Amino acid sequence: MLHITEPAPMTHPPVTSTRPATAAALTATLGLAALAWLLTVRQMGGMDMGVATPLGPFAPFVAFWAVMMAAMMLPAAVPAVLQRARASGRIPAVLLFVGSYLLVWILFGALVFVVYRPHGTVAAGLLVIAAGVYEFTRVKRECRRRCRERAGSGLTFGLACAGSSIGLMVMLVALGVMSIPWMILIALLVLAQKLFPARAAVDVPVALAIVALGVLILIAPSSVPGIMPSMSSM
């Protein structure tokens, strides 16, 4: 008798197995970013003295910087965090990815503390010009490309994104490290550069605008709001 063997049923990877981790990763990342923004705005009240802002003791500054970086950098990292959640399907792996990503920015804050000094408008203008020039460099383009690609570990992703955004972060430190308006502007630029591919029609005018801002600070610092300490804060 002829026996017909039925083919084994095809097995597919469980599509829904990663959905809880993905949803949890998205909710936690955006929730942590929102909480960090609230804490940052509350803590920054009265601390902004423009280019003359002191950093205070090391430990409180680094703790505050960590909250700042969570506020500024986590929204831009959402696509990479979701990639990690889909790839692993495990919450601990996502937490490790986010933690090591933020660690890169915390270490950058420690470096800022070492090299930072309250400064004048000439130094601020020159640093802003340098930040604008950096936007044209090959290093910037390569780091931005890697920051937009499929994420590996949190450390490698963080290093690529730090290389992409270091000019913008130097700009923040130069203009007012405790300035909410500059922080929001730079966070939006970081987010846009992470979500959208490089396009000369957009990126070149942005870089030229940064250079022009630096020149304006050099020749007419009083016309740039927020970089000089107000009389009430002195």
Q: In a 3-state reduction of DSSP, which class is residue 55?
A: coil
Note whether residue 60 is domain-resident: yes
Which residues span the domain enclosing 80?
23-227
- Residue 229 confidence (pLDDT): 61
Distance of CA 65 to the CA centre of its chain: 12
- Residue 233 confidence (pLDDT): 45
- Residue 18 confidence (pLDDT): 64
How is residue 194 written in tokens? 């992470």
- Residue 15 confidence (pLDDT): 43
Note whether residue 4 is domain-resident: no
Note whether residue 121 is domain-resident: yes
Residues across the chain: 234
Look up the pTM and report it: 0.83
Contacts of 169 (CB under 8 A, 6+ apart): 108, 162, 186
Note whether residue 17 is domain-resident: no
- Residue 82 confidence (pLDDT): 87
Contacts of 192 (CB under 8 A, 6+ apart): none
- Residue 37 confidence (pLDDT): 95
Burial (Cβ within 10 Å: 0-12, 13-18, ≥19) of residue 36: buried
Residue 75 per-residue DSSP state: H
Q: How many folded domains does the chain comprise? A: 1
Note whether residue 194 is domain-resident: yes
- Residue 85 confidence (pLDDT): 83
- Residue 234 confidence (pLDDT): 44
- Residue 14 confidence (pLDDT): 46
Note whether residue 193 is domain-resident: yes
CB 170 within 8 A of CB 130: yes
- Residue 13 confidence (pLDDT): 43
Task: Give, for all 234 residues of the chain, the pLDDT tens digit.
Answer: 445 454 444 444 444 456 777 888 888 889 999 999 999 998 887 777 888 888 999 999 999 999 999 999 999 999 888 888 888 778 888 889 999 999 999 999 999 999 999 899 999 999 999 999 999 999 999 999 988 876 678 899 999 999 999 999 999 999 998 889 999 999 999 999 998 888 999 999 999 999 999 999 999 998 888 787 654 444
Note whether residue 176 is domain-resident: yes
Note whether residue 12 is domain-resident: no
- Residue 142 confidence (pLDDT): 93
